[in-house]
Chains A and B, each alone.
Chain A
Amino acid sequence: MQSNTIRELSLFSSLIYFNKKDLLTFMNKSTLKYLLFSAVITCFANTAKGQQAPNMSNISGNFEINSQYYIKDSLIDAPEVPEKVLSNGFMNLNFDYGNFKAGIRYESYLNVLQGFDPNYKGSGITYRYASFTNDGITITAGNFYDQFGSGLIFRSYEERALGVDNAMDGLHVRYTPIKGMTLKGFIAEQRNYFSKGPGIVRGFDGDLQLNDLLPGWEAKKLRIGLGGSFVSKYQKDDSPSRILPENVGAYAGRTTIAYGSVSFDAEYAYKINDPSIVNKFIYKNGEALLMNLSYAKKGMGAKVSAKRIDNMNYRSDRGATGNSLSINYLPAINKQLTYRLSTLYPFATQPNGEMGISGEFYYNFKSGTPLGGKYGTMISLSGSAISDIQRGPVSNDTLGYTSDFFSIGENRYYQDATVEINKKLSKKDKLILTYIYQVYDKDVIEGKIGEPQVTAHIGVIDYTHKFNSKHSVRTELQHLMTDEDKKNWAMALVEYSYAPHWTIAVFDEWNYGNKDEHHRFHYYNASLAYNKGATRISLAYARQRAGLLCVGGVCRFVPASNGFNVTITSRF
C-alpha cells in the first residue's frame, strides 16, 4: 500500500512545480486530463477507503455554474450580447488523507458574465495545492489563501460573486511550536485572472495568545492577544522616467485585550512609499489604523469602531487597478446592508484615504417583559460616518500631500444610521421593520465626477407567515426616498416556500420618482429554486438595474441586463 500511496503523492507533488509557462500551455491542452485526474483520485480514495485504510481518506468539493441568456433592452441600457449566452462556472476538488491534503479548481468563463473582468477568459485549472501537517507544522505548496490580522497588509482570498480571487502561488508554512503561538511565513506570486502578477510577495506573521501561553493564565478574566506581521513585495523598476522602489515593505502590529464581556482590539499598519497608478505615483508612505471596542453579554451587545486609512493601496503590480492583484484588504466599517434598495448606495473603501467611526447596538427584550411581549423583541441600532482625511500642501509635490493624523477632511464620503426591530408576533408570524438613513458621495465612491451627494431615507417591512412546517410566505415592501440622483424607488417582493424543496419568488423594483417620466422603469424579477440537500438549482427571469454589488467594502459594477438565468450549485 505504501508504494501505491507514494506514487499517488508524487503525482500530486508534480502538479506544484509547474512554472508559469507550463501552466498556461497546460490550461489550453490538458484540461480534460486534469478532469480525468480528478476522477482517478476519486478511485484511489475510494479504494483506500474500502480496502486499505478505512475512514482515513476523504474526497470533497463543490461546483457552481451560472449561465445567463441576454436580451437587448435599450431602454435600460442593457447592451446586445453577441454570444447571447454567457456563463461562469467552477469546480473544486479536495483530497484529504490523514494529515495530507491536496486540491484543484477548474474554472470556466465561456464567455464571462457581464460585469466581471473580461480577463476571466476561457477555461482552465486556476488553483492547485498540496499540503501536509506534521508536529504542528503545516506546509502548503501551490496555491493558498491566508490573512494576517485584519488584512491591512496581507489578505489573499476569494469572493466568487465579486470575481475577486487573489490566490497566492508559492510556498506557505504555518507553525505552532507551542499552544498559544502561531508563526506563518510565505513566499509567492499572485494570481491575476488566468496568469500571474509580475511581483513576488513575501510575508511573515507571529501571533501570541497569552492565556494559552502563560502558565496560570488559562482561566484569567483578562485575555490578551498580540500579533505582528511584515510583508514585502518585489517588482522590477522598468519605468523610463521615474526611479521606483523595487522592494516595498509594510509592517503591522495588533493587539486584543479583553476583560470579561468587554473587548478591545486594534491594528496599526505602515507601508513605505509605493508609487502606483492608484495613488497617482506619489512617493508618500502609507498608514492604517483600525480600532474596535465591544461589549457582549447575553441579551445585549455593542460595538464602536474607528479607522483611518492613508495611501494604503498595496498591490503586487503598481500598474494594477480595480479588484486585481491586491495584497492587502482594507475593511469598510459601516454596516453591511442587504435589502435590495439599501444596496443602491453602497460604500466602498477609499484606499487613498478615509477616516471614520461607526457604532452598533443590539438588544433583546426578553419574552414576558412589556416591550418583549410573549416572544421577545430584538432591536439593533447602528450608525457610521466616513470622511476624507485632511490633506495639506507639501513643498515636494512628489510626496503628494501632508496629512494631520487626527484631523478630519472636509469631504464627507458616507454616513448612515439604521434602526431594525425584529419581532416574533406569534408562533406563525414574524416581522422585521427597518429604517435606514444614508448620505452618499456618488462622485467619489463611483468615480462619476460632478454627481451630487445623495441623501436617502429607506423603509423596509419584512413579514413572514408560516402556515405550517411546509408552507410559508414572506413579503417585503421597501421604499427609498431621495431628492437626488434617480429620486424615489419602491419595491415589493413575495416569496413562497414549499419546504424543503421549492421556493418561488417575484419582485418588482420601480423607479417611480424618476424626473424623466420615460425613465420610470420597472425592474422585475421572477425566480424558481429547487433545493435538495447540498444542491440548489434556480431559474430566474430578471430585468436588472445597473448598480454596485459589494461584499465587505469591495465592490463590482453590475451593468443593466435583461434575460434568463440558470444557476446550479452543489457540493460533495
Chain B
Amino acid sequence: MICTCLYDKCEAFALKLFSPFTKKLKQLPMKKLALAVALLIGSTSLFAQTGTKSDVPAANIKSLDGKAFNTATINNDGKPFIIDFWATWCKPCVSELNAINDDYSDWAEETGVKVYAVSIDDSRTMNSVAPFVAGKGWDYTILLDPNGDFKRAMGVNVIPHTFLFDGKGKLVSQHNNYSPGDEDRLYEEIKKLTGK
C-alpha cells in the first residue's frame, strides 16, 4: 500500500528515514567515503542505457559443458520459454520434467516453446547431472547453478519451481510444487501466449 504514495512524498519520507544513515556516512573515514563515491560514479554510468529489460535477472552460472553462462541472456527468439528449477535428488522435479518431456517435441513443434532446466545440484551431485539427463533422454537446455546464485536471484524457496515467460521475457505465470496434470495447464498457457 505504501507503494501507492506519490514520488515526492516518498522521497521526503526516504530522506527522513535515512537521515541517521546519511549522517553515519559523514562520520566514516575518508577512505571508505571515497570508496562509496567511486562505487556511485561507477554505477551511475549504467543509467545511460535504455531498452526493454527482460524479467530474467542476471546471474553468473554455468552451461552443462562448464562454460560461464549469464542468465540475463536467456531468451527464445521472441517465442515463450520456461525456466524450471530442479535437482537430481528432487523426486517431484524429476516427475514433472519426465512428464513435460513426454510431450516436449510436440510442444516445441506447435508453439516453439523452449525449456531451460536449471539444476541446483551442488558440487556433490553436479557431475551427475549430465549422465542423469542423458539417462532420462531429456531434450532440455540444462544449466548448472551449483551455488544457488540464480535460485537466489529468482527468489526460489523450494523446488520444483516452474516459470513461464512470454517471447519478450516477461514473466507470465509460475507454479511451485508439482501435481500430475500441471504440465497440461502449463501447455494451455503456452498455447494462449502463442495464439494456437
Residue ranges of A at the interface with B (Cβ–Cβ < 8 Å): 2, 4-11, 13-18, 22, 30, 33, 36-37, 39-40, 42-44, 46-47, 51, 53-58, 60-64, 92, 94, 96-101, 130, 132-134, 138-139, 141, 145-147, 149-151, 155, 157-158, 174, 176, 182, 207, 209, 211-212, 223, 225, 256, 258, 261, 263, 265, 292, 294-303, 305, 329, 331-333, 335-338, 360-364, 366, 375-376, 378, 380, 422, 424, 430, 462, 464, 466, 468-472, 474, 497-500, 503, 529, 531, 533-536, 552-553, 569-572
Contact = CB atoms under 8 A, between A and B. Distances in A.
Given A132-B39, A225-B66, A536 B137 contact: no
Given A17-B25, A472-B179, A182 B155 contact: no
**Which of B102, B146, B157 has its CB near the most chain A CB atoms (within 10 A)?**
B157
Given A472-B181, A536-B158, A145 B148 contact: yes
A380 B157 CA distance: 28
Contacts of B20: 30
Q: Which 8 A-B pairs have the closest CB atoms?
A: A362-B135, A301-B131, A469-B181, A62-B155, A571-B155, A301-B134, A331-B124, A150-B123
Nearest to A299: B137
Contacts of A503: 177, 179
Contacts of A9: 39-40, 43-44
A37 B18 contact: yes
Nearest to A36: B17
Contacts of A362: 131-132, 134-136
Contact of A98 (B14, B46, B65, B182): B46
A405 B64 CA distance: 32
Nearest to B29: A17
A58 B133 contact: no
B131 A303 contact: yes
B3 A100 contact: no
A535 B156 CA distance: 11
Nearest to B10: A43
A444 B89 CA distance: 25
B36 interface: yes
Contacts of B194: none
B185 A301 contact: no
Contacts of A338: 89-91
Nearest to A41: B14
A60 B154 contact: yes
Given A533-B173, A569-B176, A182 B68 contact: yes
B133 A296 contact: yes
Given A132-B43, A300-B134, 20 more contacts: A4-B11, A10-B22, A13-B39, A13-B40, A40-B2, A94-B57, A94-B153, A97-B46, A101-B58, A139-B42, A211-B67, A258-B66, A296-B133, A301-B134, A430-B95, A466-B180, A466-B181, A469-B185, A534-B176, A536-B157
A305 B135 contact: no
Contact of A571 (B21, B132, B156): B156
Interface of B: 2-3, 5, 7, 10-11, 13-15, 17-18, 20-22, 24-25, 28, 32, 35-36, 39-40, 42-47, 49-53, 55, 57-58, 60, 65-68, 88-91, 95, 98, 102, 122-128, 130-137, 139, 146-149, 152-158, 161, 173-177, 179-182, 184-185
A336 B88 contact: yes
Contacts of A8: 14
B52 A55 contact: yes
Contact of B18 (A14, A155, A158, A298): A14
B134 A43 contact: no
A380 B135 contact: yes
B155 A572 contact: yes
A276 B136 CA distance: 45
Contacts of B152: 92, 145, 158
B132 A301 contact: yes
Contacts of A552: 122-125
B22 A11 contact: yes
Contacts of B17: 33, 36-37, 40
A140 to B, nearest CB: 10
Contacts of B176: 531, 533-536, 569
B21 A130 contact: no
B98 to A, nearest CB: 8
Given A39-B3, A301-B135, A553 B124 contact: yes
Nearest to B173: A533
B43 A100 contact: yes
A183 to B, nearest CB: 12
29 contacts: A10-B36, A14-B21, A17-B28, A17-B36, A39-B2, A44-B14, A46-B3, A63-B157, A64-B157, A97-B47, A99-B46, A100-B43, A132-B46, A138-B60, A139-B42, A147-B146, A150-B126, A209-B66, A209-B68, A338-B89, A422-B98, A464-B180, A466-B180, A469-B180, A472-B180, A499-B180, A500-B181, A536-B177, A553-B124
A43 B49 contact: no
Given A37-B18, A134-B42, A569-B158, A296 B131 contact: yes
Contacts of A470: 181
A207 B5 CA distance: 47
Contact of B135 (A4, A97, A211, A378): A378
A343 to B, nearest CB: 11
B14 A5 contact: no
Nearest to A132: B43
Contacts of B137: 298-299, 364, 366, 376, 378
Nearest to A538: B177
B10 A11 contact: no
